[in-house]
Amino acid sequence: MWRLMRRRQDTQPEVAGEVAAQAAVTVAPVEPDLDAAAFFDVDNTMMRGASIYHFARGLATRGLFTTSDLFKFAVGQAVFRLRGNENPEHIAVARETALAFVAGAKVDDVVRLGEEIYDEVMADRIWGGTRALAQHHLDAGQRVWLVTATPIELARVIAQRLGLTGALGTVAETSNGVYTGRLVGDLLHGPAKAEAVRALARREGLDLTRCTAYSDSANDLPMLSLVGTAVAINPDSELREHARKHDWQIRDFRTGRKATMTALPIAAGVGAVAGGVAAGIALRRHYRR
């Protein structure tokens, strides 16, 4: 009797496996929609705050620079946000400063730190509503791209963690896996985003009239105006007004205090560069050690 019971117990997992396999339902694969895609800005659209600022915060927790350094960059970003404009000279100076500091850093180190800091700091700052919109496009068989002034290495980390198709970001020149301190082109900001999307559409065979773009900032009007469907996410006042005039969708995932605070960090141009300066300082100090 004992042997018979043992034999039955031994066969139970096998029987359960067979039954489960027979009852399994094959889900039909999503048919790719190769003509359409969605393009998402990152800062304050996909993520609360500026990704490069959060990256700098993660570096600060590792002791690579001081909290006072971070505070200075945060104040600079807040001032920019309140003024609501961009001084080309300030952007140029900040950009050159950031590039000078990052020169000599290893790309692999930046990617590794980006992955660690995303998991520690950024993952909880993804807007659930925006993430759901991205997933809706993926479920429809469409490709989903991030388009951001954030360095491409960090942008790719975010895209990978979110399960998106890929990212378009600011490209820094490298040589043998090390940053040279120069940009390839310029910051991916404003009109440059639209040009990047247009170039990608040519490469991928996309019909821009069937594409959708999402952003929080009027700085991205060139990109939003390029596609068939534009959606304002957590929009600034200028974009909200423009969206209303043109009957664009407006989705605001902020509530209460979050909706009334522009808070730290900021829109793409100066905000991304300021955070980049902070990150550059941290990396430079790291390599000096």
**Choosing from 43, 69, 216, 220, which is the catalytic residue?**
43
Phi/psi region, residue 177 (left: phi>0; alpha: psi -120 to 50; beta: rest), is left
Bridge partners of residue 230, in order along the sequence: 213
Q: How many helical (H) and strand (E) elements, i.e. helices and strands, does the chain have? A: 12, 8
Q: How far is CA 38 from CA 122, 156, 271, in A?
A: 22, 16, 24
In angstroms, the CA 118 to CA 141 distance is 26
In angstroms, the CA 15 to CA 21 distance is 10
**Choosing from 10, 41, 124, 186, which is the catalytic residue?**
41
Q: Look up 43 and say whether it is catalytic.
A: yes
Q: How many CB atoms lie under 10 A from the CB of residue 42?
A: 29
In angstroms, the CA 238 to CA 281 distance is 33
In angstroms, the CA 75 to CA 264 distance is 8
Q: Look up 41 and say whether it is catalytic.
A: yes
Q: How many CB atoms lie under 10 A from the CB of residue 5?
A: 9
In angstroms, the CA 102 to CA 179 distance is 7
Q: Tokens in use for 189?
A: 């900001």
Q: DSSP labels for 79-102?
A: HHHHHT---HHHHHHHHHHHHHHH
Which residues are the active-site residues? 41, 43
